Amino acid sequence: MLFIARYGLPLLLAAIGVVLIVIGHGHYTNIANRRSLESAAGVTLLLIALAIWLINWMMRLSFDSGRDREREEQAREEFTRTGRWPDEPQG
């Protein structure tokens, strides 16, 4: 399910957006023109797909950052107990 939310939904929206742009021939003359509406809707869907992908990317960065902080905190606790960093060679 998470894979679908991260990649499937943005790819689906982007594909539909590209199809709408192709159907509208990329024209944007005025709002009353049907081809203009199709192209505008296609561009909008592409932007929405990009926004969804960027939000997912930022959330993954946030979670990875939290894990890094936890590892750093564990290393600091190890240093406080033993006087050396966990990745430091003994000797």
Give the number of domains in the chain. 1
Predicted TM-score (pTM) above 0.75? no
Residue 87 CA to residue 91 CA, distance in Å, equals 12
Residue 60 lies in a domain: yes
Residue 20 lies in a domain: yes
Residue 90 lies in a domain: no
Cβ contacts of residue 49 below 8 Å, gap of 6+?
Answer: 9, 10, 11, 12, 13, 14, 17
Dihedral (C-alpha) 40, 44, 49, 54: value to the nearest 10 degrees?
130
Residue 87 lies in a domain: no
What is the domain extent for residue 22? 2-82
Q: What would the pLDDT profile of 2-44 be if each residue is shown by its tens digit?
A: 788 888 999 999 999 999 988 888 666 666 666 778 888 899 9
Residue 58 lies in a domain: yes
Tokens linked to 30:
């005025």
Residue 41 CA to residue 84 CA, distance in Å, equals 59
